[in-house]
Structure formats: C-alpha cells, structure tokens
Amino acid sequence: QVRLVESGGGLVQAGGSLRLSCAASGRTFINYAMGWFRQAPGKEREFVAGIAWGGGSTDYADSVKGRFTISRDNAKKTQYLQMNSLKPEDTAVYYCATALRPFGTSRRESDYNDWGQGTQVTVSS
C-alpha cells in the first residue's frame, strides 16, 4: 500500500542529536497516522512516538519524552523524528510506520500496516 524509506541514522556521541526522516509514497488517499518504533539487540520492538494525520496530536514513550519530537509534512509525505540529548540506551534500529486511521495516534504495532526497512542509530558513551 505505502512504501516507506527512512534516512538520517548514524553514529553519534551521548548528548548529541540526530534527525530521522521517513518519506512515504504510494496509495495515500486514505488518511493515516504515522509513528516511529525501535528495536534494540535482544529486545522486542517498542513504540517511540506517534503523530496524527493532521499533526495536532502526538504521543511519546516515557523514555523519550522531552528529548524527541515527532513532526510531519503532509505535502512532502514525510515524517520526522528529532532526537536530542541522545543516550546509549537509545541505540536501536528505528522504523517508521503508517496506520490507516484518519484521527488520533496508536501505540499498537498491529494498527500499523506499512513499515520501513529501518535505520540504525548508535549512541556511544
């Protein structure tokens, strides 16, 4: 349905910043929410942040509140994750995803229909 491509990952020292981008293409006539998940080695994939179609509603995992900011540009069909004050525990593969819902956000993996291939974020101490 939707093709998603992440970019912006890399290696950064603790306390540094990265900005992830996720460009979407394909069938977008149905409104959709967008979000970010991450998976660290040996751990399950977890919710990071979500944003509604209109951008007015956002949601963040407690572990990233105050440090990460999610945003979107519907004209460019792109979502962003600005990550500040990065910690070694933020090291993970970050995935963007879209959910076929016209309003609100979701933390449930099952609500997301399309996923990117992921981008590696490594935070060194």
Using the structure block, give the residue that is written with the tokens 């990550």. 83
Largest Cα span, the chain: 44
Instruction: State yes or no: pLDDT of 29 exceeds 60.
Output: no
Give 52-107 pLDDT, tens digit per residue.
988 889 999 999 999 999 999 988 889 999 999 999 999 999 999 999 887 899 99
Tokens of 35: 């979000």
pLDDT score at 26: 81
pLDDT score at 30: 59
Give 18-28 pLDDT, tens digit per residue.
999 999 988 76
> Quick check: 93 and 120 in contact, CB under 8 A?
yes
Residue with more model confidence, 75 or 6: 6
